[in-house]
Amino acid sequence: MDDHTPPRTYETPPTTRPIDEAEAAREAGLAHNEHIKIASGFLRGTLADGLLKHATGAISEDDGQLVKFHGMYLQDDRDLRPERTKKKLDKAYSFMIRLRIAGGVVTPRQWLVLDDIATTYANGTLRATTRQTFQYHGVIKSNLKRTMAAIDGALLDTIAACGDVNRNVMASTNPAQSGAHKAAFELGKEISDTLLPKTNAWREIWLDGEKVLGGEPEFEPVYGKTYLPRKFKIVVAVPPSNEVDVFAHDLGFIAILDKKGKVTGWNVTVGGGMGMTHGEPDTFPRTADVMLFCKPEEAVKVAEAVMTVQRDWGNRKNRKNARLKYTIERYGLAAFRAEVEKRVGKALSDPKPFTFTNNGDRYGWTEGDDGRHHLTLYVASGRIKDYEGDGPKLLAGLRRIAEVHEGDFRLTGNQNVIIANVPAEKRAEIEALVDEYGLLKGAGALRRNSIACVAMPTCGLALAESERYLPDLMTELEESLASHGLQDDEITIRMTGCPNGCARPFIAEIGFVGRGPERYHLYLGAAFDGSRLGKLYAEDVNASEIRTILDPLFGAYAAGKTPGERFGDFLIRAGYVTKTFNGPDFHKNIGALKGAA
């Protein structure tokens, strides 16, 4: 914790494994999801039967929780709700399907299969997420098994992309450091494979796999019957770029490099997380603590130890207080580290020095230290589609590139796509296709540092627009920035439709979090490298007021910044907003400290 945090009295951690028997769970007052998991038969529930019920496009409420473990969310088109309600029709149900792609790397062949799935079974778009994977929207229930079979045919899957498990593991994509990137990718892949649920339910339900006979099998030696208390997210970062936002996740590994750029070990971070609930100050986002250093050969064991401590110590009565960030707040970092070291079987070293300079992507062409070429494309909100008029034809263009590309594709944590590992002799051919389909259009400085969640119309949690609104807002703010000579300044801006924070708005220099239709909380003062949370500057801001509020702050920044000073740092130094030190401090001293002239 930060030095500004007062001394704390911590609770005594539990010493037993989680309750996994139905009667004991009822007596202990565990959350409803715990009962669902206990009764599910290792994530089966009644999903197989529910798929055969054609009278509705939905599934049962309990199965709606279980299907998340299989990589899916039941959704409906909220734009259509009023009309369908008026006609007494069922909601326009469909499923969002998220893939598990550790490190975000796919082959050209896999890209072509994923493209075909998008146009055959989904809504004609691929969406690159903030967790370095793809998701589909608009898949109807009758097409779920066909979609899963096609994904399996590409040697990919959706297991554990959602749910109370370790989700898709992110890894640094910085192509300039090819050796370190390779180490980061390999660590992410090994962690993903090691912590994957062992149940056969996914293949059994979606691919008509062979059922296991002879009673309920014990499939989960690491997870147990009840898996984790809540979702668990792991990332691997390689300084100086923090494009995976290591401080925003439950568990992180930061590469420590020698003078030749080789990974000598990993700093381990714990306890980051973005989600909170409006009006409930005991929920808050939190930046991760840098806990210890481990050698390369110890990293996977450390990852399993951290996750199993959270399995045993996490809150299973209140899901709003169940993430690892709250576990560490409750029991303390020292006790948590001691238990991790106990499970690893040895004492580990203290963290090593490191420096991050940003949490954005490197756009355009980059040559790696292995002589391969890499092109990072800006993808607005990660939505890979063909825009009308003179907009980029992303879906068609990347399809054509996949047909001739000899390297691979990499997704970034900022929703962008890298055409990676292009041999020097193939670069001109790739460039010609990029030009033909306009793939380098629409990427000014502000947009290059933007992220938005999906929100309306499909996310059931959204309170306000995000992906559909942020582009128009950025046009307004680009005009404002240009009027102050700031059009080329890199400023991070992120927007979410609700406080779950999927686009990580609380660590953006300008963060918007939906409160209701066309209303947002505005957060300012986060660090450009993603290491510090912002602070609530203005509540319930109407969309029409945003430019009016930010314009004078841009003016003050242009007039008063020091060389190299970032927007978030300036706002704190100049006294416009209070600095946030960590999670519990997030809700303190909120609001504008003074108005901009």
Annotated binding site for siroheme: 502
Contact 154, 113 (CB under 8 A): yes
List, as residue ranges, the binding site.
453, 459, 498, 502
Which sign does the torsion angle of CA 537, 286, 356, 7 carry?
positive
Q: How far, in Å, CA of 335 to CA of 157, rounded?
A: 36
Question: In which order are the strands placed within the sheet that holds 417-422?
Answer: 105-106, 408-411, 417-422, 373-377, 364-367
Q: How far, in Å, CA of 369 to CA of 151, rounded?
A: 33
Beta bridge partners of 194: none
Put residue 163 in one of left, alpha, beta given phi > 0 → left and psi -120 to 50 → alpha.
left
Catalytic choice (37, 44, 68, 98): 98
Strands 417-422 vs 450-452: parallel, antiparallel or unpaired: unpaired
Q: How far, in Å, CA of 163 to CA of 118, rounded?
A: 23
Position of tokens 């300012």?
524
**Going by C-beta distance under 8 Å and a sequence separation of 6 or more, which residues neighbour residue 56?**
90, 93
Q: H/E/C letters for each residue in 178-197?
A: HHHHHHHHHHHHHHHHHCCC
- Does residue 392 have a cis peptide bond before it, meaning omega lies within 30 degrees of 0? no
List, as residue ranges, the binding site for [4Fe-4S] cluster.
453, 459, 498, 502
Catalytic choice (131, 167, 323, 399): 167
Catalytic choice (230, 447, 502, 532): 502
Q: Is 98 a catalytic residue?
A: yes
Q: How far, in Å, CA of 166 to CA of 197, rounded?
A: 9
Catalytic choice (37, 100, 230, 233): 233
Among the listed residues 170, 143, 157, the one whose alpha carbon sits nearest the alpha carbon of residue 201: 157
Q: Is 91 a catalytic residue?
A: no
Which sign does the torsion angle of CA 243, 244, 249, 255 carry?
negative
**Going by C-beta distance under 8 Å and a sequence separation of 6 or more, which residues neighbour residue 11?**
330, 331
**Length reported for the chain:** 597
Among the listed residues 407, 523, 505, the one whose alpha carbon sits nearest the alpha carbon of residue 175: 407
Neighbours of 521 (CB within 10 A): 20
Q: Is 167 a catalytic residue?
A: yes
Residue 127, Cβ density class (10 Å: 0-12 exposed, 13-18 middle, ≥19 buried): buried
Longest dimension (CA), the chain: 75
Helix (H, G, I), strand (E, B) or coil at 9: coil
Catalytic choice (498, 515, 535, 579): 498
Distances in whole angstroms, Cα of residue 491 to Cα of each of 188, 248, 294, 433, 478: 29, 18, 33, 30, 11
Q: Is 294 a catalytic residue?
A: no
Catalytic choice (362, 459, 504, 535): 459
Among the listed residues 453, 223, 228, the one whose alpha carbon sits nearest the alpha carbon of residue 319: 228
Q: Which uninterrupted H or E stretch holds 449?
A: none
Instruction: 401-404: list long-range contacts, CB under 8 Å, 24+ apart.
Output: 401/108, 401/430, 401/433, 401/434, 402/108, 402/109, 402/111, 402/112, 402/115, 403/108, 403/112, 404/429, 404/430, 404/433
Question: Which amino acids are annotated catalytic?
Answer: 98, 167, 231, 233, 453, 459, 498, 502
